[in-house]
Amino acid sequence: QVLTLERDQWKSKAEDYWDRYLRARSEMENFRKRTERDIHRRVNRGKAELILPLLDVLDNFDRALAAGEKNAEEDRDGAFKAFYDGVVLIRRQILDVLAREGVEPMEDPVGKPFDPEYHEAVFAQEGGGEHGAIVEVFQRGYMYKGEVIRPSRVKVIR
């Protein structure tokens, strides 16, 4: 009977140690996953901070291309047209690099209802259409890995 009691005590201790081991292993796995998510979130935040100023550069490319489009079409000797086409290719390359990193331009919201999750109203006009509809885009919005990194800045109907 003493042996049975001693055996039961050892068995109970072994079960207790096994339970502690499983809990510690589970806590360690949860810690590892949390740390991984935190690192991933910080890396994405760092990338987003780098990407935002590049979007302003891309906006300036768009402005330059819009300003030079007519001149490129009317270029007689082709020198300006070649320069213009080169700038178009550089812009496309920037967009491709951003797309590989998970950055995508938002679709044109003109004519669609204002959504504060995706749009920032910078101007409002009276009448001229359905209340809350977007009538003009001042700055294109961008998504980064499915989240808004920069909202579209728009004019809406009041």
Q: Which two tokens stand for residue 25?
A: 């292993």
101-110 pLDDT tens trace: 999 999 999 9
Checking if the pLDDT of 154 tops 90, the result is yes
Task: Report the alpha-carbon distance of residue 16 to residue 21 in Å, rounded.
Answer: 9
Question: Taking the model in full, what pTM does it have?
Answer: 0.74
Domains of the chain are: 105-158 (2.30.22.10)
Reported as a pLDDT band with limits 50, 70 and 90, residue 12 is: very high
52-80 pLDDT tens trace: 999 999 999 999 999 998 888 888 888 89
Give percent above pLDDT 90 in the chain: 81
Q: What integer is the mean pLDDT of 103-118?
A: 96
CB-CB neighbours of 154 under 10 Å: 25
- Least Cα distance to 53 among 8, 94, 96, 19 occurs for 94
Q: Which two tokens stand for residue 96?
A: 């491709």
